[in-house]
Amino acid sequence: MFEVLLISAALAAEQPDAAALLKQADAPRQSFLHSTVRMRATLEHDDGTSQTGEFDVYLGNEDQQLVVFRDKRNKGRKFLTVGDKSWLIVPGSKNPIAVTASQKMMGASSFADIARVRLATDYTGTLRAGIEPCGDPARPCRVVDITATVKTAPYASGTLWIDGDGFLRKAIYKLASGKPAKEIRYRYRESDAGQSIPAGLTLTDLLFSNHAGKTTLEYLDHRPARHPAGTFDVSQQARR
């Protein structure tokens, strides 16, 4: 406890720039650009049951993500995001299905929206005074309120909790109406190279009145890859 108080006092004395904190918080996500990530999602229902599925995410530039579902129920389905447009591609269907902004807030497709959150470039931040505990185990964190500066940002505003190492530990993202949409708690692990990289996250869908829509996302494998242009071409993906 005494060590936590000392760290809190040191953090409070530094008072970094909010823009610098947003850039630090972006770094782990950006390290996954141009790669393939195998993920497992576990959805917990309010009756105590759960549903698990796996999918691969092909990441290109900041605005390019292809989700390919691997679980038996949804095998072969794809969710493609390029810029501010998204499509659901279903095996056997001739035409991709355009996905609206509200539909992107739901289910596994919301992970593509999370991947598109570019804090340093699409948001401006205001640093709150003082330090708050966050994470598990709890650690001292600075709190930054963010507001979108571009219309293409997935969320209009939010609040971030960032620890002393610059890692984003918790975020609450809001809609344009000001209504909270997602609460996300982030986890990290040490890579074989000794670097801290994303390990997973727990997402609570705040749009449900009972907040029952909790999903745990695990990063099972991460491989750097330069994907061919056709990976993010909707017409080519629809033909495969």
**Residue ranges of the domains in the chain?**
2-239
Average pLDDT value for residue range 58-71: 90
Q: Between 62 and 170, whose confidence is greater?
A: 170
- Do residues 36 and 59 lie in contact, with contact meaning Cβ atoms separated by under 8 Å? yes
How far apart CA 133 and CA 8 sit, in angstroms, is 9
Average pLDDT value for residue range 106-128: 79
The H-or-E segment that residue 105 falls in is none
State the pTM of this model: 0.84
- Beta strand residue intervals within 60-130, DSSP E: 64-69, 78-82, 85-89, 97-98, 123-127
Percentage of the chain modeled with pLDDT above 70: 85
Find residue 191's DSSP bridge partners. Answer: none
**C-alpha torsion 1→186→119→27, nearest 10:** 90
Query: What CATH number is given for 2-239 in this structure?
Result: 2.50.20.10
How many C-beta neighbours within 10 Å does residue 7 have?
Answer: 15
Expressed in angstroms, the distance from the first to the final Cα of the chain is 56
Q: Is the pLDDT of residue 78 over 60?
A: yes
**For 179-238, how does the pLDDT look when each residue is reduced to its tens digit (9 = 90+)?**
999 999 999 988 877 788 889 999 888 887 665 568 899 999 989 999 998 999 999 998
Q: Between 84 and 13, whose confidence is greater?
A: 84
